[in-house]
Copies of this chain bind each other. A is one copy, B any other.
Amino acid sequence: MKHKIVIIGGVAAGPKIMAKLLRTTKYESQIDLYTEEDMISYSACGMPYFIEGLIENSERLIVRKPEQFEEKGAHIHLNKRAIKIIPEEKKVLIQDTITNEIETVNYDKLAITTGARPFIPKIQNINLKNVFTLRRLQDAIDIRNKMLESKHAVIVGGGYIGIEMLEAFAANNLHVTLIERSPYLLPIFDEDFSERIRGEIIELTKEKGNVEIVTSESVIAFHGEEKVEKVITSTGRIIDTDLVILAAGVVPNTELARDAGIELGVNDAIRVNNRMETSIKDIYSAGDCVENYHVVSKQYTWIPLGSSANKEGRCAAINIADQFDAFPGILGSAVTRFMNYTMSLTGLTERDAKKLGFDVISSTMTQKDRAGYMPHAQSITLKLVADRRTEKILGAQAVGQGDADKRINTVASALMADQKVSELFNLDMTYAPPYSTAVDPLLSAAMVIYNELHKC
């Protein structure tokens, strides 16, 4: 008997579940994916680079087209919004977003992959024209078109998306003002790193002079007739602008799950066990809408990232197919850039580690990313965070025009293995002058901590 699998949501985790199920030949299933959008399976993370103009066509962001799934026997239903899940009857009510017609769909197993959406802060006149959020591919197209005829832009929020949009607009010679409510840019980093990042962004745009960063202020109102023309902040600052990007964080799309009685966790993200099962039998979830287990803090958290969405989707599919797979959790590893400046982190920051009650020791060093005598050697600043008592590594942050990201992935692997500082500094990393220093900055950072702990 073919199982009827229904998937709600089509950006990353949903298509991944579908793709994996289609490859699992042992498990016979009929797969129906419903999405309220008019496309599926696209790289949301690539949208800022499309807006910037680095990708000539938005079509390039589409990972797989519906036809590619249809050919293999799955059914893709575009412009169909799930409006209610009835677990006791194993049914979902689906509404056509064009005709508004409602149909009832049965499932044997259901996967909720509804993702996240931009958080909309309380700002007066938020519905003025040219105030954008970046959620769907169409948003990216609209933003790019508006950008091309604009001179001034305001970005509300200094997280990853804020920084990426800052690059996109700055590269297109707009005058951009980024407004971050907290005192720090990219507040997910430690304060010293946030300050460093802010300084570097100002430095990199100094010549053009078209970037302004405002922190510790929030946007309270937009002014304009129909279209946004001015942005008013909490200190009374008035900024002229042609467009606004709201990038003040995201919230999980979990109203559908909550209304069905599914247990939610941190930030109202869907709670799942390590097989990606929700609290209701035969309902799975994966991607930006699920809560995450953090391997280092050993606490539940919510860090929605595309890389996790893919792994969770794979895990959900294997379990849906009556096999066994467990997802071990996340480290919050992330990377972004501003021009040629990389910002990357994994595990816990010093601030978070202290909050969690670790006896924190850290070392920060600025070194060349490759032999200093090589052309193209660039600085990176790396901070390693560890626990004094257990000597376990807790996290790392790295920024710089050099190869910062490489070191962070090495630490991620060490974190996953629950390694001590002493295990890290003896790591046999590759070395050649074009790639690193004989003692890699990461190993140096680990040695400094060990030396302090052991007075050697």
- Residues of chain A having any CB pair with chain B under 8 Å: 12, 24, 26, 43, 45-46, 49, 54-55, 60-61, 160, 295, 305-311, 314, 318, 321, 323, 325, 327-328, 330-337, 342, 344, 346, 371-375, 403, 405-414, 416-417, 419, 423-435, 438-440, 443, 447, 454-456
**Residue numbers in B under 8 Å from A305 (CB-CB):** 431
Q: Pick the contact of A49: B412, B427, B433 (CB < 8 A).
A: B433
**Residue numbers in B under 8 Å from A456 (CB-CB):** 24, 318, 321, 323, 325
A414 to B45 CA separation, bound complex (whole angstroms): 27
Q: Is the CB of B413 within 8 A of A314?
A: no
- Closest CB of chain B to A440's CB: distance in Å? 8
The 4 closest A-B pairs by CB, nearest first: A417-B417, A413-B413, A307-B431, A335-B430
Beta-carbon nearest neighbor of A419 in chain B: B417
Q: Is the CB of A332 within 8 A of B46?
A: no
Q: Is the CB of B435 within 8 A of A330?
A: no
Task: Tell me the number of copies of this protein.
Answer: 2
On whether A46 and B417 interact (CB within 8 A), knowing A412-B427, A428-B346, A435-B405, the answer reads no
A307 to B444 CA separation, bound complex (whole angstroms): 12
**Residue numbers in B under 8 Å from A412 (CB-CB):** 410, 427-430
**Residue numbers in B under 8 Å from A309 (CB-CB):** 438
**Residue numbers in B under 8 Å from A419 (CB-CB):** 413, 416-417
Q: Is the CB of A430 within 8 A of B333?
A: yes
- Closest CB of chain B to A193's CB: distance in Å? 15
